[in-house]
Amino acid sequence: MEHLGLSLALFGAALAAALAGIGSAIGIGVAGGAAAGVMTEDPNKFGSCLILQALPGTQGIYGLLIAFFVLNKLGLLGGAGAVALTWNQGLQILASCLPIAVVGWYSAIWQGKTSAASIQMISKKPEAMGKAIILPAMVETYAVLALLTSILMLMGVQVG
């Protein structure tokens, strides 16, 4: 039971990086399917498609950021050794990771679907690229809010 706190905190970091990463991979996959379809007919649209396909990738980066934040807080990055954590502190860190883990996972999938729809839109109306970016970017708002929530919660957890 001595290392339960540390284990819970690491589990939180793993969830943040893994769930948000899985969501991003699915989202990029969906958008990539649409991009491939459009580019089969018009390879010149590669640039526009690439931008839209990349949008759902940010959640994975946010998850990784929170995982780094947690590892840093635990003292696992500098080589100085892990700080001592109670199970209660470990649970607090795990809870802090959940917003970006869960919201990152779902929002990346839905952002991927919106990006796919936007890619289909620019296939017919290339001049609407600006609007096509804004639509999936709206979904990004909630991933950013979840990232902020996770950061603020982590900053509030006292360790060491």
Partner 1 sequence: MSYVYTVARLRGMENHILDSAFFSRLMDSAGIDDAVKALGETSYSQWISQAGSSFDKAIDSEILATCEELKSFVPDKELLDIFRLPYDFHNVKVLLKGLFKVRGGELEGRRYDLLSKLGTIDTEELTNAIETEEYGFLPYGLTDLIPQCWQVWEAAKSAQAVELVIDHQMFRAMLKVAEDLKMPEVVNWVKARIDAENLKSAVRLARMNYDPAKALPFFHDGGTIRADDVAKLLTEPQETWSRILSYTDIGSVLSALTEQNDMKAALSDVSKALDDYLLKVLESAKYSMDSPANVLLFMLTKEAEARNMRVALVCVAGGLDREFGRRLLK
Applying CB under 8 A, does 134 fall inside the site for partner 1?
no
Of the residues 38, 101, 108, 154, which one makes contact with partner 1 according to CB under 8 A: 38
Applying CB under 8 A, does 155 fall inside the site for partner 1?
no
For tokens 């796919």, the residue is 116
Report the alpha-carbon angle 32-121-47, nearest 5: 50
Of the residues 71, 117, 128, 145, which one makes contact with partner 1 according to CB under 8 A: 117
Applying CB under 8 A, does 35 fall inside the site for partner 1?
yes
Applying CB under 8 A, does 40 fall inside the site for partner 1?
yes
Applying CB under 8 A, does 123 fall inside the site for partner 1?
yes
Query: What's the longest Cα–Cα distance across the chain?
Result: 61
Tokens of 107: 């929002």
For tokens 């609407």, the residue is 128
Applying CB under 8 A, does 15 fall inside the site for partner 1?
no
Nearer to partner 1, 10 or 34 (CB): 34
Report how far residue 104's alpha carbon sits from residue 159's, in angstroms, rounded to the nearest whole number: 26
Half-sphere exposure of residue 137: CA atoms within 13 angstroms, side-chain side: 8
Of the residues 33, 68, 71, 102, which one makes contact with partner 1 according to CB under 8 A: 33
Of the residues 120, 129, 133, 149, which one makes contact with partner 1 according to CB under 8 A: 120
- What phi-psi label fits residue 75: left (phi over 0), alpha (psi between -120 and 50 degrees) or beta? left
Residue numbers at the binding site for partner 1 (CB under 8 A)? 30, 33-38, 40-42, 113, 116-117, 119-120, 123-124
